[in-house]
Chain A
């Protein structure tokens, strides 16, 4: 199965700053089938990005996804207080679908 490695493990930033989160796959998978989720304490993950760069319904344009092959990036511009949470990537181009171990975005 494909292993997704997210970096950094923890990212400490201040509101208003920009964040760059990385997701690297152990091998290529089909057609940029990469999604990003955000999870807040006590809640289920919530879909942010699918198809590597398409925003899910209701997701503000401060969130953007990019990348191809084995390297993908989630960029968050102008961090808001509610953005500080844990972010996961998921590949769905190869079965079984797999998730990364997460990047914790914390307030500096």
Chain B
């Protein structure tokens, strides 16, 4: 079955760039049926959608993060990535990659990675 696995540094210094990658296994990221998202969740709070990418490279970002955010996809490696610039302590959270449907009617997340904790601290 399809699985998602996040990877990246667990500690990032303030003002630097947070970079994470999500590897898709057991299925192809090229499937036209899905968008691939990043979602974060500070400890004890609700999740926050960060942005999503289609296999073609088309992206949608949360307006609250758009100015600092970049997502990319590498279909040859079956993975997609996140870069968030100029991080502060407010960016400390568990970061998840997740899958949703292609259409507005199915923009819910039926598959999640296990998540990775990213702490912003000097």
Which residues of A line the B interface, CB within 8 A?
1, 30-31, 33, 35, 37, 43-47, 50-51, 56-57, 88, 90, 92-93, 95-102
User: In the complex the two chains form, what is the Cα distance from A3 to B44 in whole Å?
Assistant: 17
- Check B47 against A92 for contact (C-beta < 8 Å): no
User: In the complex the two chains form, what is the Cα distance from A33 to B48 in whole Å?
Assistant: 17
Closest-CB distance, A80 to chain B (whole angstroms):
22
Contacts of B96 in A (CB 8 A): 44-45
User: In the complex the two chains form, what is the Cα distance from A98 to B48 in whole Å?
Assistant: 7
Interface residues of B in 20-52 (CB under 8 A from A): 45-49
Closest-CB distance, A62 to chain B (whole angstroms):
20
Query: Other than the known A45-B47, A96-B62, what 11 A-B pairs have Cβ atoms closer than 8 Å?
Result: A1-B63, A31-B105, A35-B109, A37-B109, A43-B114, A44-B114, A51-B105, A88-B46, A96-B49, A102-B45, A102-B46
- Check A47 against B109 for contact (C-beta < 8 Å): yes
Q: Which of A51, A92, A101 has the most CB of B within 10 A?
A: A92
Chain B, residue nearest A44 (CB): B112
User: In the complex the two chains form, what is the Cα distance from A68 to B114 in whole Å?
Assistant: 32
User: In the complex the two chains form, what is the Cα distance from A31 to B106 in whole Å?
Assistant: 11
Which residues of B line the A interface, CB within 8 A?
45-49, 60, 62-64, 96, 98, 100, 104-110, 112-115
Chain B, residue nearest A89 (CB): B46
Chain A, residue nearest B115 (CB): A44
Known contacts A44-B112, A45-B109, A56-B110: A33-B104 contact under CB 8 Å: yes
- Check A45 against B48 for contact (C-beta < 8 Å): no
User: In the complex the two chains form, what is the Cα distance from A16 to B50 in whole Å?
Assistant: 38
Contacts of B100 in A (CB 8 A): 92
User: In the complex the two chains form, what is the Cα distance from A44 to B107 in whole Å?
Assistant: 17
A92 interface neighbour in B48, B107, B113, B115, Cβ under 8 Å: B107
Q: List 17 A-B contacts (CB under 8 A).
A: A33-B104, A33-B107, A35-B108, A37-B109, A44-B113, A44-B114, A44-B115, A46-B112, A47-B108, A50-B106, A57-B110, A90-B109, A96-B62, A98-B49, A99-B46, A99-B49, A101-B46
- Check A100 against B60 for contact (C-beta < 8 Å): no
A47 interface neighbour in B62, B110, B114, B115, Cβ under 8 Å: B110
